[in-house]
Structure 1
């Protein structure tokens, strides 16, 4: 509706706000990502993957020991794997709000010897910085991929943040799991070499995984509001047949909730292979999650 000419002050105010918004938007577009900031200790090191044939060497794999979310001992490890030992890929969803939409998602890869490597796309925070979904739309954070032990990445969320955590085996062959792992490691190396901004809608935890899947098999995961609201991403994966289960849609999520198992495993002092086995004990001896019924 046209603004009446009898309101010059209102018109001037709207023009002023428009100019400020345009100026601020221009400044945002001029921002450049950086790898040289005062990062929080747990995100201070960027992981690096070196691949030669089937040999995989990782630097800066995080394996922190938490007493609380703010009190922990950091351990950065070098780890060696064989890519032809990759057997499985797992999808993890951590809702963290009073409503279902907001969540963090990441993946983990299982190897023949029982070890698992978790990979989590995250906001790389500076000291004193907190996460805001709104700020995440305007080039305020860099994106990083954290490579870590499951006891670190799952245990932090389940045992110390006390969030619900859902763990799903993906319906992927070892070759497909390996290809996804390699794609994410290539993204890891790319971010270490050339930093990039996080974006709440287009470059977040879930879209990073989806982009890697889509690069390998275009169209596997269609554009959806469920990847923008990651708390619903497991429903999308279920509907697409990506989760390895024959459980019904109205019951699969609760069966795959493992934060209680994760807290028990940590309380028992389990680590490494034993920890990963414990949080999957509900499906021990089965290739599909339907065994938990």
Structure 2
């Protein structure tokens, strides 16, 4: 009997922890989603308070030998929340922030990629810019480089990941196009890592000039930006570029939610690269994206002539970005001193 009682108590403890996890999850879901319709924080707090009270009361009943009643009350309310949660779908028709108003799309015909809504903003402050959305064409035969940028804004473990493609026609300066997987903010909205767990943001894929998308981070937002040259065969470069175009078109056709862990600026890029280079190992640094350069370096994919710490010092672009003059080639300026990958077939 004592053994049976022990295992029964363990079962109740496990059930209580699962129920408590459900209470916490539903609090997040209610708080962030009700913000769209219930503007009063006090009203949302009251709704959450009722749910927390019911959840804790259900757990209390579990330990008072009234488990069927507690589980019934909890199950009905949590089931209702889950049904409501399932009705929340991503959309492409909201009142978007200016920097994500337009959606990238494109097509590839033979060697020519045509992109619509490439961003080329002239930023005056971290939040104000002269908007320019442009159509661009790129000859994939001229694709000669891939660079990875990491922009740190929340400590050493978290960074935003961007990928820049370089095109060289042999006649003028190399052209660069940078892709960035981001949240698609609504007007007045700001990023929340916690909100990213609860369908607060749609997913956006931005293609932009480096003077736009890197400079606004290094010069105006106060982020620390690093740029690394990736060693990659040209066929793989081309496949990765095409994967970005396909992802952009997919988001136009079927909007998706951003997720802080499973659908973010690093994991989506990793999924695209893994489809091109099968067998890439999973690694904790894919979640702690600030350490992504070390992960890529462990695969032998970073161009460097010295140890990683020396490379990291050379890769830091902030001083060069801030010193670049308005008419100067910004992309060339930020690459001074950065080891470049050799041309691969």
1:67 aligned to 2:124? yes
Q: CA deviation at 1:237?
A: 0.6
CA distance in 1, matches of 2:85, 2:217: 32
The DSSP-based 3-state class of the residue aligned with 2:309 is: coil
TM-score by length of 2: 0.75
CA distance in 2, matches of 1:236, 1:189: 29
CA distance in 1, matches of 2:223, 2:253: 33
Could you say if the C-alpha distance between residues 12 and 105 of structure 1 is closer, same or farther in structure 2, counting changes exceeding 3 Å? Answer: same
Could you say if the C-alpha distance between residues 24 and 245 of structure 1 is closer, same or farther in structure 2, counting changes exceeding 3 Å? Answer: farther
Report what 2:51 is aligned to. Answer: none
- 1:70-113: per-residue Cα shift (whole Å, max 9, x none)? 1211111111110111001010001111x311210010000013
Could you say if the C-alpha distance between residues 84 and 27 of structure 1 is closer, same or farther in structure 2, counting changes exceeding 3 Å? Answer: same
The DSSP-based 3-state class of the residue aligned with 2:337 is: helix
CA distance in 2, matches of 1:8, 1:132: 31
Q: CA deviation at 1:28?
A: 2.7
1:38 aligned to 2:87? no
Q: Does the Cα contact within 8 Å between 2:167 and 2:175 map onto a contact in 1?
A: yes
* Partner residue of 2:151 out of 82, 85, 94: 94
Q: Does the Cα contact within 8 Å between 1:57 and 1:80 map onto a contact in 2?
A: yes
Q: Does the Cα contact within 8 Å between 1:38 and 1:127 map onto a contact in 2?
A: yes
CA distance in 2, matches of 1:143, 1:9: 37
Q: Does the Cα contact within 8 Å between 1:237 and 1:243 map onto a contact in 2?
A: yes
Q: CA deviation at 1:12?
A: 4.5
TM-score by length of 1: 0.88
Higher relative contact order (CA 8 A, sep 6+): 1
* Partner residue of 1:192 out of 252, 275, 278: 252
* Partner residue of 1:11 out of 35, 39, 60: 60
CA distance in 2, matches of 1:72, 1:27: 38
Q: CA deviation at 1:207?
A: 0.9
Q: Does the Cα contact within 8 Å between 1:87 and 1:112 map onto a contact in 2?
A: yes
CA distance in 2, matches of 1:136, 1:85: 37
Indicate the RMSD between aligned Cα atoms, in angstroms.
Answer: 2.2
Q: CA deviation at 1:10?
A: 6.1
Report what 1:291 is aligned to. Answer: none
Report what 2:332 is aligned to. Answer: 277
Could you say if the C-alpha distance between residues 194 and 8 of structure 1 is closer, same or farther in structure 2, counting changes exceeding 3 Å? Answer: closer
Report what 1:154 is aligned to. Answer: 214
Answer 1 or 2: which has greater helix percent.
Answer: 2
Unaligned 5+ segments in structure 2 are 1-9, 14-55, 63-69
